[in-house]
Chain A
Amino acid sequence: MTETALANRVAKSGDMEAFAQLVGMTQGRVRAFVLRLTRGDRALADDLAQETYLEAHRKISQYRGDGTFSGWLIRIAWSRFQMHLRSRGPTTKELEETIAAPSHDPSLKLDLERAMAQLSAPERAALTLCYAMEYSHAEAAELLALPLGTVKSHVTRGRDKLRALLSNGEMTS
């Protein structure tokens, strides 16, 4: 059964087995995305992913099936992550500018992950969606609730920063 069909069953009859299947089918993708956003903080990523599914269950009647269910979850996860950032500081932008220090999570062994950790959250999200998760720029813009031009800027700027970080030898592990 497809994600959309399962989501419809949950919305119509509150079928918990269908919701359990949906969680099982999508959790890897959602958690991987959130883990990238949290720069490898697994505990925080799992908390945010759980909140994402709870909100998805509450609002499942709002899912119209015009995109993939995973995409809808990604949108909620991004919104949850932004709420988390706001709860920690005055504004997302200020916070993002102050967290340029690389993560000390020992699990971030790969050069790319260490370099990614130095980008802003919107840059990490845009690059992850457009490359690793194979969304188009337009789809990423919709998921992140950002104008298309802004997403393209994040992708370009993020790529430039990554190239510099990965080329200057700082990232050799």
Chain B
Amino acid sequence: MNDGDLDRLLSRRLAEPEDNGFSARVLARLAQGNTRSARMEGIAYGVTAAVAVTALALSGVGEAVARITPDLIQSQPLGIAVAALVITGAFLRWSWGR
């Protein structure tokens, strides 16, 4: 085989496969990945909120804040309500992402 024949053979365009659902599979995997990311983000928010509320309760930060702002000592239910709102919000965000 001479150089010219080899060059011609090598220069033939590659046969490009038909799509046959390939693009759809790629996009489906991307969508799957996005859903998983949203779910993980939601879980992260929930865990962070739960840890924050627990840490605040255990560390005495709440009492310290209450000493600085005496009005807050009267509003423990408000604090619980805010914590509940944060946790609910995180849960909703997580469930929307599913």
Number of CB contacts from chain A to chain B under 8 A: 73
Q: Does A39 interact with chain B (Cβ within 8 Å)?
A: no
CB distance from B70 to the nearest CB of A (A): 48
Q: Give residues of chain B (5-22) contacting chain A, Cβ–Cβ below 8 Å.
A: 6-7, 9-19, 22
A-side interface mostly: helix
Stretch among A48-56, A77-85, A98-106, A144-152 lining the B interface: A48-56
Q: List 15 A-B contacts (CB under 8 A).
A: A16-B27, A27-B23, A29-B16, A31-B17, A33-B14, A35-B17, A42-B17, A49-B22, A50-B22, A54-B33, A112-B10, A112-B12, A131-B7, A132-B14, A162-B6
- Other A-B contacts than A23-B23, A23-B27, A112-B9, 7 sampled, CB-CB below 8 A, are A24-B19, A27-B19, A27-B22, A31-B16, A33-B14, A35-B17, A163-B1
Residues in A lying within 8 Å of B, measured CB to CB: 16, 19-20, 23-24, 27-29, 31-33, 35-36, 42, 46, 49-50, 53-54, 57, 112, 127-128, 131-134, 159, 162-163, 166-167
